[in-house]
Structure 1
Amino acid sequence: MLLLILAVTVGASLFAMKRPQILEKLMLVPYNVNHFKEYYRIVSHGFIHADGTHLFFNMFVLWEFGTTVEAEMGGSFPVLYFGALLTATIPALTKHKDNTNYRSLGASGAVSAVLMAFIVAHPTQPLLLFFIIPMPAIFAGVLFFLYERHMQKNGGSGIAHDAHIYGALFGLLFSIVKDPSSIDRMVSAIIQLF
C-alpha cells in the first residue's frame, strides 16, 4: 500500500503542479466542503503538493518511516494513513468553514501520523535532526509537538501546523490502541533521557 500511496501522490502532485485549475479543484477548501458538499476534497488534498520541495520532504519522510511502520502494522497501515489524513482536516474544516480564501494541500497530516507511529514503536531508535544531530526518537517526537504547537500558535507561516498536530495525535493514539504495551516503552525511553 505504501508504494501505491507514494506513486499516486507523486504522480498526482506533478500532474497538478503544472495545471493550476486542477490543483485548485483538488485542494482542501473548507468553504466548498461546507457550502457545496465537495467532500472529495477531504481526501484529494492529500495527494497534491504545492511544489517540488513540499512533495519531496513529505515523500522522503513517508518512505523513510513508512516502510518500517507498514511492515509492522500490515493491513492496519491504510487505516493509520487515511485516518490521519481525514483527522488532520478537522481544524481547517471547523475554523475556516466560512472562509472563501482558505486553501490547504499536502499529505503532511498523514505523514506526521506515520512518523509518530514509528516513534511509538521505536522510542529509543536514534534519529538525526536536520540530518546531523542524533537523538532518541521519543525526544524527537516531543520536539515535534513543541515546535508544531509553537508555530501554530504564532501563525503567519502559511503552513497548516494544526493539521500536523492532529495527524500526529492520530498516529500516536492509533499506535497506542493497537499496541498498549507501547506506553511502557515510551515511558522507559523518557526516563532514560534523564
Structure 2
Amino acid sequence: MIQEYLFLTPVASIIFALTVASSIYSFSNPQVLGEMMLHPYSIYRKKRIYTILTSGMVHKDWGHLLFNMITFYYFGFGLEKILIQVSDWGHLQFAIIYISSLILSDIPTIFQHKNNPGYYSLGASGAICAVLFSYIMFDPKMMLGIFMIIPMPAYIFAVLFLGYCIWASKNSRDGVNHDAHLFGAISGVIITLLLYPWIFKHFISQF
C-alpha cells in the first residue's frame, strides 16, 4: 500500500509524511514550534524568511492537524493523480501548486502584521485550500460532504467558502488566519489556470 502511494503520488506522500512528522514532533517541543511558525515581523525585516515554508509543516494541535490532513488526503493525493493523467510533468506541477500557494497565501498576512512582533501563524491551510480549489477546477460538480454530513456540489461550496473567508477576514475574532484560506484558494485557481489554460473551458463545460 505504501509503495503504491509512493509510486503514484510521491509528492503528496512526501508532503503528507513531513507535515505529520513535523507537527507531532513540535507538539512536545515548544521551542521547535516557535522557530517554525510564521513571524511576519521578522520576515519583513529579512529574518526567519524560512518560516514561510516551515509554518506549513506544523500545526496548533491534533484537531488542527487531523482536519488539514484528512482534507489533504482526499484532495491532495487525488489532485496529483489527476495531474499525472493530463501532463507528463504532473508530479512537478502538483509541487508547484502546493509550494507556491503556501508562500502566496502568507503574503497578505506578512504585510498586515509586519509591525506586530507578537503575531505568529502556523498550519498548511493556505496550501490545502489551493489544492482543494485546484481539484474543483477539474471536477466542479463532485459532491462534498460538508462537516462530513451535508452533501453539496463542489462549485457551490467554493462560492460559499470564498464568501465566508471574505466576511471572516474582516469580522471574525476567532484567531484563525482566514486571509491565508482565501488567498490560498485564489492562488490554487490562478496557478492551475496558468499551468492548464484549457481548464477554464473544461470548468465551464461541466455546467
TM-score, with length taken from structure 2: 0.88
Q: What are the ranges of 5 or more consecutive residues in structure 2 without an aligned counterpart?
A: 1-10, 84-89
> For residues 21-58 of structure 1, what are the alpha-carbon distances to aligned partners after superposition, in whole Å with 9 as ceiling and x for unaligned?
11111100111112352111111100000000000011
Give the counterpart of 2:198 among 181, 188, 194. 181
Which residue matches 1:87?
104
Question: Match of 1:132, as an amino acid?
Answer: I
1:97 equivalent to 2:97? Answer no
Q: After superposition, where does 1:114-153 map in structure 2 within 5 Å? A: 114-153=131-170
Match of 1:124, SS state, is: coil
Q: Structure 2: how far apart are the matches of 1:70 and 1:122?
A: 14
Of the candidates 17, 40, 43, which is equivalent to residue 27 of structure 2? Answer: 17
Whether the aligned pair in 2 keeps the contact of 1:30 and 1:97 (CA below 8 Å) is yes
* TM-score, normalised via structure 1 length: 0.93
Q: Secondary structure at the match of 1:9?
A: helix
Q: Aligned with 2:173: secondary structure?
A: coil
Quote the residue 1:27 is aligned against: 37
Which one of the candidate residues 55, 70, 80 is aligned to 1:70?
80
**Alpha-carbon distance in 2 for matches of 1:131, 1:188:** 28
Identity of aligned residues (%): 38
**Gaps in structure 1 of 5+ consecutive residues:** none
* SS of residue in 1 equivalent to 2:117: coil
CA–CA distance in 2 between the matches of 1:27 and 1:79? 22
Match of 2:67 among 49, 57, 78: 57
Tell me the CA shift for residue 148 of structure 1.
Answer: 1.2
Deviation at 1:98, TM superposition (A): 1.2
Please provide the CA RMSD for this pair.
1.3
Answer yes or no: is the 8 Å Cα contact 2:165–2:181 preserved in 1.
Answer: yes
**In 1, are the aligned partners of 2:60 and 2:122 still within 8 Å (CA)?**
yes
Conservation of the 8 A alpha-carbon contact between 1:62 and 1:111: yes
Q: Do the aligned partners of 2:44 and 2:111 also contact (CA within 8 Å) in 1?
A: no
Which amino acid counterpart does residue 88 of structure 1 have in structure 2?
Answer: S
Q: Give the superposition deviation at 1:180.
A: 2.5
SS class of match (2:45)? helix
The one-character-per-residue Cα deviations of 1:70-111 (angstroms, maximum 9, x if unpaired) are: 112222000000000000111111011111111000000000
